[in-house]
Amino acid sequence: MPQTDPVPSVFDAATAVTRTEGGGLVADLDPGWDVGAGVLNGGYLLAVVARAALVGSPHPHPVALSASFLRATGPGPAALAVTAGPAGRTLAHSSVVLAGPDGPTLSAQVTTATLTGEPPAYSAAPPPEATPVERCLPPVDDGSLAHPLPEVGLRTRVHTRLDPVTAGWAVARPSDEPVMRAWVRLADGREPDPLALLLFADALPPTSWAIGRFGWAPTVQLQVLVRALPAPGWCLVEARASEIAGGWLDEDYRIWDSTGRLVAQSRQLARLPR
Amino acid sequence: MPQTDPVPSVFDAATAVTRTEGGGLVADLDPGWDVGAGVLNGGYLLAVVARAALVGSPHPHPVALSASFLRATGPGPAALAVTAGPAGRTLAHSSVVLAGPDGPTLSAQVTTATLTGEPPAYSAAPPPEATPVERCLPPVDDGSLAHPLPEVGLRTRVHTRLDPVTAGWAVARPSDEPVMRAWVRLADGREPDPLALLLFADALPPTSWAIGRFGWAPTVQLQVLVRALPAPGWCLVEARASEIAGGWLDEDYRIWDSTGRLVAQSRQLARLPR
């Protein structure tokens, strides 16, 4: 039987970074990963930035990435300026600046290392009780929802199955608690890895939606820690705000793989929707 | 009555940043803020970095700071290279690289803004029940402790009163939980502000000590969010690891002021002591 070419991953293609003849790194940011109004999703951008950091690193995985979102980033050609820091046997550091035609839009610190499958020595973050995927909200609005997920590019790239227990906001019954859970996976069938976890760490609507404060909550600064290589299958994401004050909102994400292992943690500071 | 000069703050002097004739920013890192072996405390360095970011910012407070610790930083002259990002009415971004005589040792993203005293619209992080300061462990070891706090410079600069409930490790009864609480304040009597909160966000011994894993746990990457202007008095700090795996440790800090208000949150990725 002739070998067939593997289907290329939409995610891998959209986050690809290539070296120019001049030696710089560039990406062609894909308009399909938007969150509305031509603005690209933050997690998608983190995956692109991490790929740029990995190009010159002796290690294969991003384990810590902190980014300041300087301006909204749109699709099209972008340059990635990498400043390599120390690189050792255990980890390597670099700084990456993503710039579009109008200048820098995202500036990040990236730490790369080599993650293993070693089981945790201590774990205090078991996965929460979540509704099974098949009983979560339908992926496409069937007309029953008062506030469905907006039909933006990101939702066609990341399958997002909202847990009805934390999706009262979608049926006009917002909660008192800014908490949201969902199962996520790449729509292209590609299994999760540390790059996909960076994407997932900013994949849900603003946590403030859970309490009925709809609107745009722009990320100001976001840190993601990748803690383990994820197993294949759906990942469970829980987002939680612990303090809303003075127009600012924090969002903590925890992500577990299909075996229930904690694979990523993130925290962002965002502006509260008006 | 003649006005007396106010006593200068040791913290303010040690974190001062000055502009050179060439226009650059420099600091003279104070050997008194070490954590042993001539290595300066990470939180102390964050305060210096934040001061550099504030020099060119229209806003007075650091609200988000993410730093990669490239190498251990020792005392002495240091240069601070600031790359200003966009600055608006609400916030301003910048990147700061701290370099000693042997090159960069710390690289950070800083967001500055103007914090207010506005009460929170939502808060899910009340202070934990903590032992009152006067019943915490003595600041200086009276010989009764199996594992007292090391007598490093940092402890003479930051009064650190360990809650005995989470200090079993100090009396040879380590816990199963990597959690540590302490009251902290500047030894010079200066009241807390956002810069001091950056210091406090890395002021405790490694959380792994709580479970009896002593040794050095070098910070790899640390994010601090400052959420409110702290009231005068002691701050309560709680540090907690939620996952220890593959030689890596996360540490979450939450800091409350003397009124019980959440004023800062931080998360770091560190290497586990051997």
Run of H or E including B271: strand B262-271
So what's the pLDDT on residue A138?
80
Q: How confident is the model at residue B249 (pLDDT cuts 50, 70, 90)?
A: very high
Q: How far is A15 from chain B (nearest CA, A)?
A: 23
Is residue A112 a contact partner of residue A63, using CB atoms and an 8 Å limit? yes
Residues of chain A positioned with their CB less than 8 A from the CB of B228: 245-246
Which CATH code is given to the segment(s) A10-114+131-271? 2.40.160.210
Query: If we measure between CA atoms, which residue out of B111, B57, B109, B114 comes closest to residue B222?
Result: B109
What region, left, alpha or beta, does residue B42 occupy, with left being phi > 0 and alpha being psi -120 to 50 degrees?
A: alpha
Q: Tell me the per-residue pLDDT of B194-235, one tens digit each, with 9 for 90 and over.
A: 999 999 999 999 999 999 999 889 999 999 999 999 999 999
Which residues are B236's β-sheet partners?
Answer: B183, B256
Nearest CA in chain A to B271: A90
So what's the pLDDT on residue A197?
98
- Average confidence (pLDDT) over A71-98: 97
The shortest CB-CB distance from B225 to any of A115, A121, A250 is to: A250
- Average confidence (pLDDT) over A91-110: 98
Disruptive mutation site among B221, B259, B261, B265 for chain A (greatest number of A CBs within 10 Å): B221
Distance (Å, rounded) from C-alpha A179 to C-alpha A210? 6
So what's the pLDDT on residue B2?
55
- Average confidence (pLDDT) over A5-11: 82
So what's the pLDDT on residue B143?
85
Distance (Å, rounded) from C-alpha B82 to C-alpha A119? 41
Distance (Å, rounded) from C-alpha A209 to C-alpha A215? 8
Helix, strand, or coil (residue A264) = strand
So what's the pLDDT on residue A4?
61
Burial of A192 (0-12, 13-18, 19+ CB in 10 A): buried
Extract the tokens encoding A225. Answer: 């820690």
- Average confidence (pLDDT) over B45-67: 98
Which residues are A19's β-sheet partners?
Answer: A25
Average pLDDT over all residues of chain A: 95
CB-based contact A221 B68, cutoff 8 Å: no
CB-based contact B223 A116, cutoff 8 Å: no
CB-based contact B227 A248, cutoff 8 Å: yes
So what's the pLDDT on residue B88?
94
Distance (Å, rounded) from C-alpha B168 to C-alpha B180? 10
Q: Is the pLDDT score of A140 beyond 90? A: no
Residue with tokens 């916030």: B91
Which residues are B239's β-sheet partners?
Answer: B180, B253
The shortest CB-CB distance from B107 to any of A95, A227, A271 is to: A95
ipTM of the complex: 0.96
- Average confidence (pLDDT) over B267-271: 98
Q: Is the pLDDT score of B176 beyond 70? A: yes
So what's the pLDDT on residue B138?
80
CB-based contact B228 A246, cutoff 8 Å: yes
Residues of chain B positioned with their CB less than 8 A from the CB of A70: 85-86, 93
So what's the pLDDT on residue B3?
58
Q: How confident is the model at residue A143 (pLDDT cuts 50, 70, 90)?
A: confident
Q: Tell me the per-residue pLDDT of B2-28, one tens digit each, with 9 for 90 and over.
A: 556 567 899 999 999 999 999 999 999
CA angle B227, B233, B237 (to 5 degrees): 55
Query: If we measure between CA atoms, which residue out of B188, B195, B204 comes closest to residue B156?
Result: B188
Residues of chain B positioned with their CB less than 8 A from the CB of A123: 242-245
Q: Is the pLDDT score of A94 beyond 90? A: yes
Residues of chain A positioned with their CB less than 8 A from the CB of B250: 225, 227, 265
Residues of chain B positioned with their CB less than 8 A from the CB of A242: 123-125, 262, 265
So what's the pLDDT on residue B5?
59
So what's the pLDDT on residue A3?
59
Residues of chain A positioned with their CB less than 8 A from the CB of B271: 90
Strand blocks (E) in chain A: 18-19, 25-29, 61-69, 76-87, 91-100, 103-113, 122-123, 158-162, 179-186, 219-226, 235-240, 243-245, 248-256, 262-271
CB-based contact A269 B64, cutoff 8 Å: yes
So what's the pLDDT on residue B149?
87
Distances (CA, A) of A41 to A38, A99, A126, A183, A266: 10, 15, 28, 18, 15
Helix, strand, or coil (residue A78) = strand
So what's the pLDDT on residue B7?
74
Is residue B221 a contact partner of residue B268, using CB atoms and an 8 Å limit? yes
So what's the pLDDT on residue A139?
75
Q: Using only C-alpha atoms, what is the Rg of chain A?
A: 18
Disruptive mutation site among B63, B68, B198 for chain A (greatest number of A CBs within 10 Å): B68
Helix, strand, or coil (residue A246) = coil
CB-based contact B269 A124, cutoff 8 Å: no
Q: Is the pLDDT score of B161 beyond 80? A: yes
Distance (Å, rounded) from C-alpha A127 to C-alpha A234? 13
- Average confidence (pLDDT) over A140-161: 90
Q: How confident is the model at residue A223 (pLDDT cuts 50, 70, 90)?
A: very high
% pLDDT > 70, chain B: 98
Q: Is the pLDDT score of B71 beyond 80? A: yes
Q: Using only C-alpha atoms, what is the Rg of chain B?
A: 18
CB-based contact B220 A107, cutoff 8 Å: no
Is residue A47 a contact partner of residue A186, using CB atoms and an 8 Å limit? no
Is residue B95 a contact partner of residue B107, using CB atoms and an 8 Å limit? yes
The shortest CB-CB distance from B250 to any of A243, A248, A265 is to: A265
User: B10-115+131-271 has which fold?
Assistant: Porin (2.40.160)
Which DSSP string corresponds to A90-140? SEEEEEEEEEETTEEEEEEEEEEE----PPPSEE--PPPP---GGGS--SS
So what's the pLDDT on residue A6?
67
Q: Tell me the per-residue pLDDT of A193-204, one tens digit each, with 9 for 90 and over.
A: 999 999 999 999
CB-based contact A66 B123, cutoff 8 Å: no
Disruptive mutation site among B109, B238, B254 for chain A (greatest number of A CBs within 10 Å): B109
So what's the pLDDT on residue A29?
98
Is residue A87 a contact partner of residue A93, using CB atoms and an 8 Å limit? yes
So what's the pLDDT on residue B255?
98
Average pLDDT over all residues of chain B: 95
Disruptive mutation site among A269, A271, A272, A274 for chain B (greatest number of B CBs within 10 Å): A269
Name the residue ranges covered by the structural domains of chain A.
Answer: 10-114+131-271
